Chain A
Amino acid sequence: MTVVIISTDGDQSTYNVIDWLHHFKIKVHLIDDKNRLHVNSVQLSKNNHLRFEYDNKKIDLMEIHSFWHRRGNISIAFPAIKYLEDFDFEKQFVKHLDQEQRKLKEYFNFEFRQKKHLGNIFQTDINKLIVLEKAQRLGIAIPDTLITSNKEELLNFKSKYQSIICKPLSDGLMAHDLEIGIITYYTNIISDDNLKILNNTFTVSLFQEKIEKKYELRIFFIDGDFYTMAIFSQEDTKTSVDFRKYNYVKPNRTVPYNLPVSVKDMLKVLMRELNLNTGSIDMAVTLKNDYVFFEINPIGQFGMTSYPCNYYLEKKIANYLSN
């Protein structure tokens, strides 16, 4: 039995799952971003036959039992063409090759997903706003959310709530510079000082009411099952807005949590609508015991939930892929 895994080089969680797959005596083809995939042949006929090569290993789709898209992407080898900016034809040609690659990649993903699979290669970059809207439509509480470029609108929004936050529409930003250091942009509270220096119009940004939470929930979802961890981040001012701003000296308490069935049922529907069979879901329990939904990360780090709660998620993933 063979499992194909697409991941990035150096991802420890991937290796931990592979250890379990080896334990179950299952052959693993790990496709990370070190090399390109060489397509040998694809026969589109009654019995589709897809053969490719990775890292000098020949892989036949017919022999693959299951497929896991952990993170990263596949890149298929196409001739590298150097082009001069001035020659429009060559520029067009490179674009065309990109499209050719894209279509082949889509086909790979389609074929992989006919197998038993975990993760969706074209859904790793899901849209926060669409997810929030879908969640809300299903009756899941979300924080009041405003996207605006207008100061007055923002001031009105702020006056409604004790405190508001600003977060990226996409992923967090982390930039390195030798001179300056590391700049990170996750989630921040908007202070009155922030507002003072703001122009009447600014770059369109996402704002949310700040939820006063008793504890945050990090929920790992796999094939209908939920593994939840509660994070007591409120006691620590450093992490109460964004758990990722770790406190290494006195880390937040992280303990297993029993998610109520009613919340699980709603989340199951949401995951189905988003065409995801795995992912990490961020929620919080408010001071009034309401469950508020924040976002889903389809390629979330499950290791940080697995270890503190002793969930052995790596084994559960390996089990899923090998059954």
Chain B
Amino acid sequence: MSNQLLDKSHFKLYANCIPVKGASRSIICDIQRGRYNFITNDLYEILSEQSDLSINDIFSFYGAENKEILEEYFHFLSSEEYIFFCEFEELGLFPKLDLHWESPSIITNAIIDVGIDSNHNFPDIFIQLEDLGCKALQLRFFTETTLNEVSEILAFTESSSITSLEVIIPYPIKVTTKQEYISFASSNLRLSLVIFHSAPQNSVLENESLPCTYILFTEDQINDEYHCGVISKSYFTLNIESFSEAQLFNSCLNRKISIDKSGNIKNCPSMSLSYGNIKFQTLKEVIRMKEFKKVWSINKNQINICKDCEFRYICTDCRAFISTIDVLSKPAKCNYNPYLETWEEK
């Protein structure tokens, strides 16, 4: 490392390694390799404010007493491949990543809930979603259903633009063999995730034949729309698409549409506000309403506490369960404190 330091006069962050400053610490988001790492706010300053200075200038700026720390910083940054060493003339050749986000789809993702009294016209709904360019669809079944019944519904997506399907179903009452689970999951190649809720125990179905489909069992009873909105490290997403979308848009609700178990058209099934019912309104009619789209652009730079959090561009959001009546308050089911750097037990 020290050889490289002597070799080249400057350094540059790779454009897809982006530092994000929090209230008390920062992270580097490696949105190419899908990882993040903690850094101090001091190092954040060096990476954002002093990135045009030569390495020598940075060392002399901080003085001899900080030499060791700086060496440690640079060693860390280069061994993680967050930076490369270069000459002054090369700095201008490497622009920052343009983080604007756009999509050809009017709706990118949708949730449809199915309860005991639901009477959704699936073929018609799927045609409407197709027309909106929807790519990802989640179907949640709160009450008993059979794999056959679900398969038949999914079959209506066969020639649609939907590329990713997630299904949440109650654990079958009827004894089901591993082979039956696998043949269900392989009946539709768009299925990327199948979760069986209210299962006897948490587990993952091992299956080598379907490398692109995850089949999970969870003890959680997902029997209504209140089982959502949890903010956790395990839901962090690090890729260029979600990172750029999170800059200006809501990381859960942007371009989402939902139909709750009663047919109400909402931003999210857990939210109380309905903009119509699928029996009487089309999805398009609802999307035309300005009010409906308002939540799409509530981003983490505006949300209280989240705006001080180092995880703000990799985290999910929830506007259904929020901590106060203020629409810009922090998600209620988040227990991270960015000022103390702690995840509190609740």
Residues of A within 8 A of B (CB): 19-20, 22-23, 230, 232, 235, 250-251, 253-258, 260, 289, 307-312, 315, 318
Bound complex: CA of A232 vs CA of B84, how far in Å? 10
Partner of A254, one of B32, B99, B244: B32
Asked if residues B104 and A23 are in contact (CB atoms below 8 Å), the reply is yes
Contact A307-B97, Cβ < 8 Å, known A20-B104, A232-B84, A258-B92: no
> B304 → chain A, closest Cβ, in Å?
29
CB-CB under 8 A from A315, the residues of chain B are 102, 104
Bound complex: CA of A312 vs CA of B100, how far in Å? 10
Asked if residues B100 and A258 are in contact (CB atoms below 8 Å), the reply is no
Mask: chain B, 133-151; 1 = CB below 8 Å from A; 0 = not: 1000000000000000000
CB-CB under 8 A from A235, the residues of chain B are 81
CB-CB under 8 A from B161, the residues of chain A are 19
CB-CB under 8 A from A251, the residues of chain B are 32-33
CB-CB under 8 A from B104, the residues of chain A are 19-20, 22-23, 315, 318
CB-CB under 8 A from B309, the residues of chain A are none
> A264 → chain B, closest Cβ, in Å?
13
Bound complex: CA of A251 vs CA of B31, how far in Å? 12
CB-CB under 8 A from A318, the residues of chain B are 104
Asked if residues B93 and A258 are in contact (CB atoms below 8 Å), the reply is yes
Known: A289-B89, A307-B240, A309-B15. 15 other contacts (CB 8 A): A22-B104, A230-B94, A250-B33, A253-B16, A253-B84, A254-B32, A255-B15, A255-B16, A257-B95, A309-B97, A310-B97, A310-B99, A310-B244, A311-B98, A315-B104
Taking the complex as formed, is B14 at the interface, i.e. its CB lies under 8 A from any CB of chain A? yes
Listed residue (A251, A256, A311) with the most chain B CB atoms within 10 angstroms of its CB: A256
Chain B residue with the shortest CB-CB distance to A215: B84
Bound complex: CA of A260 vs CA of B93, how far in Å? 8
Bound complex: CA of A160 vs CA of B32, how far in Å? 39
* 8 pairs, CB–CB < 8 Å, chain A vs chain B: A22-B104, A23-B104, A23-B105, A23-B133, A255-B14, A258-B92, A289-B89, A309-B15
Asked if residues A312 and B102 are in contact (CB atoms below 8 Å), the reply is yes
Asked if residues A310 and B240 are in contact (CB atoms below 8 Å), the reply is yes
Asked if residues A256 and B95 are in contact (CB atoms below 8 Å), the reply is yes
> A268 → chain B, closest Cβ, in Å?
19
Asked if residues B133 and A255 are in contact (CB atoms below 8 Å), the reply is no
> A283 → chain B, closest Cβ, in Å?
13
Chain A residue with the shortest CB-CB distance to B84: A232
CB-CB under 8 A from A22, the residues of chain B are 104, 133
Bound complex: CA of A192 vs CA of B249, how far in Å? 57
Chain B residue with the shortest CB-CB distance to A253: B14
Partner of B98, one of A254, A260, A310: A310
CB-CB under 8 A from A19, the residues of chain B are 104-105, 133, 161
Bound complex: CA of A19 vs CA of B163, how far in Å? 13
Rank and list the top 7 A-B pairs by shortest CB-CB distance, nearest first: A23-B104, A255-B15, A19-B104, A20-B104, A253-B14, A258-B93, A310-B98
Asked if residues A308 and B93 are in contact (CB atoms below 8 Å), the reply is no
Bound complex: CA of A209 vs CA of B270, how far in Å? 63
Bound complex: CA of A74 vs CA of B221, how far in Å? 54
Quick one: which of B1-53 are within 8 Å of A by CB? 14-16, 32-33
Asked if residues B94 and A256 are in contact (CB atoms below 8 Å), the reply is yes
Chain A residue with the shortest CB-CB distance to B82: A253
Asked if residues A255 and B94 are in contact (CB atoms below 8 Å), the reply is yes
Bound complex: CA of A286 vs CA of B305, how far in Å? 47
Partner of A257, one of B84, B94, B100, B105: B94
Asked if residues A258 and B244 are in contact (CB atoms below 8 Å), the reply is no
Asked if residues B92 and A308 are in contact (CB atoms below 8 Å), the reply is no
Contact A308-B14, Cβ < 8 Å, known A230-B94, A254-B32, A257-B93: no
Quick one: which of B61-97 are within 8 Å of A by CB? 81, 84, 89, 92-95, 97
Asked if residues B32 and A253 are in contact (CB atoms below 8 Å), the reply is yes
Listed residue (A23, A255, A289, A308) with the most chain B CB atoms within 10 angstroms of its CB: A255
CB-CB under 8 A from B133, the residues of chain A are 19, 22-23
> B19 → chain A, closest Cβ, in Å?
15
Chain B residue with the shortest CB-CB distance to A258: B93
Quick one: which of B94-116 are within 8 Å of A by CB? 94-95, 97-100, 102, 104-105
> A19 → chain B, closest Cβ, in Å?
4
